[in-house]
Amino acid sequence: KAGVTQTPRYLIKTRGQQVTLSCSPISGHRSVSWYQQTPGQGLQFLFEYFSETQRNKGNFPGRFSGRQFSNSRSEMNVSTLELGDSALYLCASSFLGLETQYFGPGTRLLVL
Amino acid sequence: AQTVTQSQPEMSVQEAETVTLSCTYDTSESNYYLFWYKQPPSRQMILVIRQEAYKQQNATENRFSVNFQKAAKSFSLKISDSQLGDTAMYFCAFMKPSNYGGSQGNLIFGKGTKLSVKP
């Protein structure tokens, strides 16, 4: 069974731009969670989607948003990028969102 | 709110030796999951081991085992016969498996322990 995939793997943007990251979960998994990883803050939960609905959200500004499609693929969007948004963005999938999560390779975003 | 603490920012071990990574957590819940994830330099987060709080038996996966002390809220990871490929950041994580209260899909991570295995 294929693992979680994320595209693109690397991205360079400038301040003020917006960016969209994509995540395809393991086949059959309906829950997708997103995390931001930075050296200073560590791993922080962004949000979780299940059956195209956001069920849970972390403490991030409204510039961070996401959505999930009927095939469980998920996208996250960051608008009006700031330097502090430079991070590794990880997505993880699980069957119901209540058990073990399996992670993708991440998207490394650099904001200049 | 739940918190996870890893008190050892960095550790090193000689190849073939045993090392133990510490993790403590704070929660008022009685049912939850605990995890150890490994993140090698490639940055891919890999599940090492999982423990359900209601199970008294400590989980094991080949060379990896945990010492789960529920009353003490302690969850340490023991790596036996360390190998060079075990060099990585190790994260302890907590999750409350409830469909209520906004906990779905939310892993709470510690800050990590950087483990170096030396030849």
Lowest mean pLDDT among A18-22, A28-32, B53-57: B53-57
Q: Which residue has the tokens 């998920």?
A: A74
User: Would you state the pLDDT for residue B96?
Assistant: 84
- pLDDT recorded at residue B100: 64
| Mean pLDDT, rounded, for A21-30 | 96
Say if A30 is an interface residue toward chain B (CB within 8 Å): no
Measuring CA to CA, which residue among A30, A39, A9 is closest to residue A93? A30
Nearest by CB to B97, from A33, A42, A99: name it: A99
Q: Are A106 and B105 in contact (CB < 8 Å)?
A: no
- Which of residues A95 and B101 earns the better pLDDT score? A95
DSSP for B39-105 reads E-TT---EEEEEEETT--SPPEETTEEEEEETTTTEEEEEE-S--GGG-EEEEEEEE---SSTT-TT
Per-residue model confidence (pLDDT) at position B101: 62
pLDDT digits 0-9 by tens, A56-77? 899 999 999 999 999 999 999 9
Does A59 reach chain B within 8 Å, measured CB to CB?
no
Give, for all 119 residues of chain B, the pLDDT tens digit. 789 999 999 999 999 999 999 999 999 888 899 999 999 988 889 999 999 999 889 999 999 999 999 999 999 999 999 999 999 999 999 998 776 666 777 899 999 999 999 99
Q: Could you tell me if B22 and B6 are in contact, meaning their C-beta atoms sit under 8 angstroms apart?
A: yes
10 Å CB burial of residue B58 (0-12, 13-18, 19+) is: middle
Q: Is the pLDDT of residue A1 over 90?
A: no
Amino acid B6: pLDDT: 98
